[in-house]
């Protein structure tokens, strides 16, 4: 996601409130931005006494203790205004770095500059306190999360009744989130209040700057507001030598080679049974994939009927079929959907901060970007506070992710070269890295907290999942949490030093949470070696659907499933698919284009999501299936995957309303096929095996 802009007048005000609001600036250190280093002693507040701005640059003179410092920077290259509510322009959220600091006065600023009216720390505090009186809940032990797209803050009143704001990752564990608000809501509430505040004090200038008193690395000591646009820019003080350093850029590549070699040497010694079994299955499946016919060609002779109004499939009978297909019944529990990174990570961090005994995280990717490392610091702190923190990483997924860089990553950021070592350094976090024999992977994403709450879905720990991509997670409660905990324990044991031997001789019998009155049937489905439950269950659901099939996924490379969808449409089922036009994997983009053309030719409605959708969800006549599995060969037959399924009508209806109806509305339905090239078919052939 591009970081555009500045903050509108209110947004900037709120943002600085978050970084600077405490009771007495002379006695209490102000909270720092996420990624700061709280072990550094607080500096004296910077106090500006002269400031200018032009169309391209800004200048600010300030006192730092006994020193007079001249600072500034260019803002025009970073800021892009865009249309806001009711057509009003606004920017942001935006952090404008103080690009230079020098003892010499700048060359005389150009004539077209504008002098800025400077307001004191006391004036800032007066406005801040008045504004937040109407935002924070009056009850004890709760607070509000403010989302700025690039940072999240938790606002609350402490036990002494003092206003506090901390980065969300530093939220006190004994406080809970009351609500989460976007910056557009801040603007609606605070802009009139700011106008009244300035008018009451006889401040006629429309361009003003607050001294906030914020101190330390990543602090926000100054806020510039232009009420005529309106926009606001808060200036960030950069840290001094506090970034992680990767050293040689080839380190992750060497790590990848070493991990792959280890997965096929020492790892096989301690995991001989599972490694050989995986090899046999991968080889057998590859042969089968190669010789199977192109199913879609056989359907072109059948007539395409109109969409049927037939009754949907019998869900009671369908659940009995699933019992037979999987060899077990459904568990019990409840599902709360968390759509996109703002909603998920806010709730996830809230739950993690309240953990009392254990945090068990299993993820395909734990990146080394700025957000992931801040999240890692949070887990490290929780481990030092007495919580058992275990992190299970997929080796290849995590190492390769450190090589790639998201476009929205700050230019000056360099991450740790080894995520494994970084998480264990100066902490009590226990990290294991799953081996990848024959390039198979553990694509599961789960987290269990105190063995009573679980999260699962499609998101990894990385900046793109928090800020850039559309994705979906679930919060689970009830006995189903015990199933996910058991799966983590098994995977954890298997990733240990003795591998297969520990797995075979260890007991995984742990008590599961008791069912609650509101619980309903929730089924856990897997992809394991030679056990493609997720594929078989969804294929049977397609074959049994009579009314509708809705699928949203980023990767459509499985020909067998495309064939089943086309068959369903040709018997009158309303089949709709949502996919991104451009994925994070270049070859998959071309595979998706060919898949979209094939579906369009067989009457399937194809919707292109505006941006990267990483959602993995499907609805079949009132049965929902969602989780970590893509619609490709790796997820259906090779990698480890975990999906959640239910026929509970309220849960299914909520998914339809919150995800599918909204995504159909915001996506563009294609009516003409995408242009095709001969090379696309070669890419598709390779993609069927490796993507």
- Domain shared by 394 and 457, yes or no: yes
For residues 254 and 478, which has the higher predicted lDDT (pLDDT)? 478
- Domain shared by 35 and 114, yes or no: yes
Q: Give the SS3 label for residue 341.
A: helix
Q: In angstroms, rounded to a whole number, what is the distance separating the alpha carbons of residues 424 and 394?
A: 16
Question: Cα–chain-centroid distance for residue 163?
Answer: 29
What mean pLDDT, rounded, does the chain reach? 81
CA atoms within 13 A on the CB side of 594: 21
Does residue 370 register a pLDDT over 60?
Answer: yes
- By residue count, the chain amounts to 691
The mean-pLDDT minimum among 223-227, 330-334, 595-599 falls in: 223-227
- Domain shared by 282 and 154, yes or no: no
Given a contact cutoff of 8 angstroms between Cβ atoms, the answer to whether 140 and 176 are in contact is no
The mean-pLDDT minimum among 293-307, 361-375, 457-471 falls in: 293-307
Given a contact cutoff of 8 angstroms between Cβ atoms, the answer to whether 151 and 33 are in contact is yes
**Model pLDDT for residues 124-141, shown as the tens digit of each residue:** 889 988 888 888 887 788
**Model pLDDT for residues 646-678, shown as the tens digit of each residue:** 999 999 999 999 999 999 999 999 999 888 775
Residue among 453, 665, 465, 482 at smallest CA distance from 554: 465
Encoding tokens for residue 327?
A: 């060899």
Residue 287's contacts (CB-CB under 8 Å, 6 or more residues apart) are: none
Cis amide bond preceding 373, omega within 30:
no
- Is residue 481 a part of any domain in this protein? yes
Host H or E run for residue 565:
helix 559-570
- Is residue 180 a part of any domain in this protein? yes
* Distances from the Cα of 425 to the Cα of 110, 349, 493, 511, angstroms: 50, 21, 22, 32
- Domain shared by 477 and 533, yes or no: no
Q: Where do the DSSP E strands lie in 399-516?
A: 430-434, 446-449, 453-457, 472-477
Among the three residues 472, 493, 518, which one is the final residue of a domain in this structure?
A: 518
**pLDDT of the residue at 83:** 45
Encoding tokens for residue 633?
A: 């060969």
**Model pLDDT for residues 606-649, shown as the tens digit of each residue:** 999 999 999 999 999 999 999 999 999 889 988 999 999 999 99
- Domain shared by 535 and 625, yes or no: yes
Does residue 186 register a pLDDT over 80?
Answer: no
Residue 629's contacts (CB-CB under 8 Å, 6 or more residues apart) are: 443, 527, 534, 616, 635, 636, 641, 642, 643
Question: What domain count does the chain have?
Answer: 3
The mean-pLDDT minimum among 71-85, 183-197, 202-216, 473-487 falls in: 71-85
**Model pLDDT for residues 263-320, shown as the tens digit of each residue:** 656 666 666 666 675 666 666 666 566 556 556 666 776 788 999 999 999 999 999 9
- Is residue 311 a part of any domain in this protein? no
**Look-up of token digits 């995800």:** 659
Confidence of residue 32 (pLDDT cuts 50, 70, 90): very low
Among the three residues 518, 543, 570, which one is the final residue of a domain in this structure?
A: 518
Does residue 31 register a pLDDT over 60?
Answer: no
For residues 346 and 225, which has the higher predicted lDDT (pLDDT)? 346
- Is residue 306 a part of any domain in this protein? no
- Domain shared by 130 and 56, yes or no: yes
Question: Cα–chain-centroid distance for residue 228?
Answer: 35
What CATH number is associated with residue 280? 3.30.870.10
Domain that holds residue 614: 523-690
**Measured distance between the N- and C-terminal CA atoms of the chain, rounded to whole angstroms:** 24
For residues 95 and 582, which has the higher predicted lDDT (pLDDT)? 582
Percent of the chain with pLDDT over 90: 47
- Domain shared by 403 and 468, yes or no: yes
Confidence of residue 413 (pLDDT cuts 50, 70, 90): confident
- Domain shared by 475 and 529, yes or no: no
Given a contact cutoff of 8 angstroms between Cβ atoms, the answer to whether 30 and 220 are in contact is no
């Amino acid at each position: 996601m591009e970081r555009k802009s500045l903050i509108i007048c209110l947004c900037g005000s709120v943002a600085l409130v978050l970084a600077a609001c405490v009771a007495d600036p002379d006695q209490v250190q102000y909270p720092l931005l996420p990624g700061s280093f709280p072990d550094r002693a607080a500096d004296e507040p910077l106090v500006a006494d002269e400031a200018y701005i032009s169309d391209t640059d800004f200048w600010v003179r300030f006192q730092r203790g006994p020193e007079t410092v001249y600072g500034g920077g260019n803002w025009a290259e970073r800021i892009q205004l865009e249309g806001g509510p009711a057509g009003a322009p606004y920017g942001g959220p935006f952090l404008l770095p103080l690009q230079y600091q020098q003892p010499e006065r700048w060359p005389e600023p150009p004539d077209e500059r504008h002098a800025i009216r400077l307001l004191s720390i006391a004036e800032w505090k007066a406005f801040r306190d008045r504004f937040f009186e109407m935002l924070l809940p009056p009850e004890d032990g709760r607070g509000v999360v403010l989302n700025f797209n690039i940072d999240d803050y938790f606002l609350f009143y402490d036990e002494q009744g003092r206003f506090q704001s901390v980065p969300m990752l530093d939220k006190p564990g004994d406080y809970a989130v009351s609500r989460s608000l976007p910056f557009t809501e801040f603007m609606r509430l605070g802009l009139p209040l700011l106008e009244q505040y300035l008018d009451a004090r006889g401040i006629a200038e429309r361009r003003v700057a607050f001294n906030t008193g914020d101190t330390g690395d990543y602090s926000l000591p100054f806020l510039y507001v232009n009420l005529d646009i309106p926009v606001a820019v808060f200036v960030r003080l950069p840290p001094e030598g506090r970034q992680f350093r990767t050293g040689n850029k080839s380190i992750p590549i060497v790590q990848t080679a070493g991990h792959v070699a280890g997965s096929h040497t020492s790892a096989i010694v301690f995991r001989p049974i599972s490694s050989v079994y995986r090899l046999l299955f991968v080889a057998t499946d590859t042969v089968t994939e190669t010789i199977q016919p192109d199913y879609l060609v056989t359907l072109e002779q059948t007539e395409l009927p109109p969409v049927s109004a037939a009754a949907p499939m019998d869900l009671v009978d369908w659940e009995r079929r699933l019992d037979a297909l999987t060899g077990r019944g459904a568990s019990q529990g409840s599902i709360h959907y968390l759509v996109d990174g703002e909603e998920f990570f806010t709730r996830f961090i809230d739950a993690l901060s309240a953990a009392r005994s254990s945090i068990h995280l299993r993820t395909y990717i734990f990146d080394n970007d700025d957000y992931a490392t801040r999240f890692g610091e949070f887990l490290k702190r929780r481990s030092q506070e007495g919580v058992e923190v275990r992190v299970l990483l997929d080796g290849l997924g995590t190492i390769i992710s450190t090589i790639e860089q998201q476009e929205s990553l700050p230019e000056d950021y360099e991450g740790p070269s080894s995520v494994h070592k970084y998480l264990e350094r100066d902490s009590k976090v226990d990290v294991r890295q799953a081996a990848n024999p024959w390039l198979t992977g553990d694509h599961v994403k789960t987290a269990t907290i105190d063995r009573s709450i679980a999260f699962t879905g499609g998101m990894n720990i990385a900046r793109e999942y928090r800020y850039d991509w559309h994705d979906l997670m679930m919060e689970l409660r009830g006995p189903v949490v015990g199933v996910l905990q058991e799966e983590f324990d098994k995977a954890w044991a298997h990733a240990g030093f003795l591998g297969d031997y520990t797995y075979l001789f260890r007991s995984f019998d742990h008590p599961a949470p008791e069912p609650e009155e509101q619980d309903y049937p929730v089924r856990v489905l897997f992809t394991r070696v030679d056990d493609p439950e997720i594929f078989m269950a969804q294929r049977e659901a397609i074959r049994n659907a009579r009314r509708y099939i809705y699928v949203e996924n980023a990767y459509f490379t499985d020909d067998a499933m495309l064939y089943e969808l086309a068959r369903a449409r040709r018997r009158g089922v309303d089949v709709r698919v949502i996919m991104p036009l451009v994925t994070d994997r270049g070859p998959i983009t071309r595979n998706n284009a060919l898949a979209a053309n094939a579906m369009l030719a067989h009457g399937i409605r194809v919707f292109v999501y505006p941006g990267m959708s990483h959602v993995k969800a499907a609805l079949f006549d009132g049965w929902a299936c969602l989780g970590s599995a893509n619609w490709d060969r790796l997820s259906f037959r090779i990698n480890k995957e975990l999906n959640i399924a239910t026929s509970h009508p309220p849960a299914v209806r909520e998914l339809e309303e919150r995800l599918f109806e909204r995504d159909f509305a915001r996506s563009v339905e294609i009516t003409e096929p995408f242009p095709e090239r001969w090379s696309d078919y070669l890419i598709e052939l390779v993609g069927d095996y490796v993507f």
